[in-house]
């Protein structure tokens, strides 16, 4: 059974193609590649983010409070209409990320998050997570807000260390159903990678030294946050949301 509850610290980085290639060579000497990447370079992850009509969840997140949360449905690739997917809630308190998810049939996940009416539990349903999601759905007027997809390559190490690289990050605000296909617009420029380092405790010394050697430094970055800022710039003409902070990938 897939892991449904995660508690870990996460750091994010933006990398260019050259730094990604150098770092990948180093990681492959120290870590195990994700099982999904053993037969292919990357694997696709598709997400449907839910928010209120006034985008309360992402606006709150961008304000960088001590506590924030996001709600989404996640699939691996483009799911069939009858596929089983994950309904997820991702919370961050201080620097600790708590992600909880439950498997649900796709149609049930849609109906549940939009009405707060829980579906009939299946053998694979995590009822505790279902109750937590029901509480959020009943206190917020959730609706599909944004589609986000990317291609991932990931590595596992000792002590629950995980390093992932996401590229070809893309998004859309129409056809907000996962089964509608992967058509979308690029969110990041070509040759850019979002790297996430996830650990239960501290980043191991060998990896800390590698990051320093390659001049790789953490940056505050959210894919949904970046999509929302892009949406505001294009649709409402805003350019003031954290635009003073330039995100530059390590080349």
d(C-alpha 150, C-alpha 145), whole Å: 17
pLDDT for 13: 97
The answer to whether residues 210 and 13 touch, using CB atoms and an 8 Å cutoff, is: no
When comparing pLDDT for 220 and 42, which is higher?
Answer: 42
Return the CATH fold of 5-235.
mRNA Triphosphatase Cet1; Chain A (3.20.100)
d(C-alpha 100, C-alpha 173), whole Å: 25
pLDDT for 244: 37
- Residue 246 clears pLDDT 90, i.e. is over it: no
Q: Would you list the DSSP string of 51-81?
A: E-TT-HHHHHHHT--SEEEEEEEEESSS--T
- Count Cβ atoms within 10 A of the Cβ of residue 187 and give its class: 0-12 exposed, 13-18 middle, 19 or more buried: buried
- Residue 1 clears pLDDT 70, i.e. is over it: no
pLDDT bracket for residue 3 (50, 70, 90) = low
pLDDT for 190: 83
Instruction: Tell me the average pLDDT of the chain.
Output: 91
pTM of the model: 0.90
Write down the domain spans for the chain: 5-235
Q: What percent of the chain has a predicted confidence (pLDDT) above 90?
A: 80
Q: What is the pLDDT of residues 67-125, one digit of tens each?
A: 999 999 999 999 999 999 999 999 998 878 999 999 999 999 999 999 999 998 888 89
């Amino acid at each position: 059974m897939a892991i449904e509850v995660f508690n870990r610290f996460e750091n994010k980085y933006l990398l260019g193609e050259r730094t990604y290639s150098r770092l990948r060579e180093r990681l492959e000497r120290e870590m195990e590649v994700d099982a999904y990447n053993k037969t292919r370079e990357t694997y696709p992850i598709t997400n449907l983010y839910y928010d209120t009509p006034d985008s309360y969840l992402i606006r709150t997140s961008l304000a960088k409070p001590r506590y924030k949360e996001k709600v989404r449905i996640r699939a691996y690739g483009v799911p069939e209409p009858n596929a089983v997917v994950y309904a997820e809630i991702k919370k961050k308190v201080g620097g600790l990320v708590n992600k909880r998810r439950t498997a649900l049939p796709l149609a049930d996940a849609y109906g549940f998050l939009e009405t707060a009416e829980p579906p009939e539990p299946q053998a694979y349903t995590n009822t505790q997570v279902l109750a937590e999601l029901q509480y959020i759905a009943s206190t917020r007027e959730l609706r599909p807000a944004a589609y986000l997809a990317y291609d991932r390559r990931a590595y596992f190490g000792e002590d629950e260390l995980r390093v992932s690289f996401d590229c070809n990050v893309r998004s859309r605000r129409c056809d907000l159903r996962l089964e509608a296909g992967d058509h979308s617009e690029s969110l990041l420029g070509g040759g850019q990678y979002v790297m996430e380092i996830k650990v239960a405790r501290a980043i191991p010394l060998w990896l800390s030294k590698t990051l320093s050697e390659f001049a790789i430094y953490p940056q505050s970055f959210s894919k949904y946050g970046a999509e929302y800022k892009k949406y505001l710039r294009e649709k409402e003409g805003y350019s003031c949301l954290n635009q003073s902070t330039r995100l530059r990938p390590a080349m």
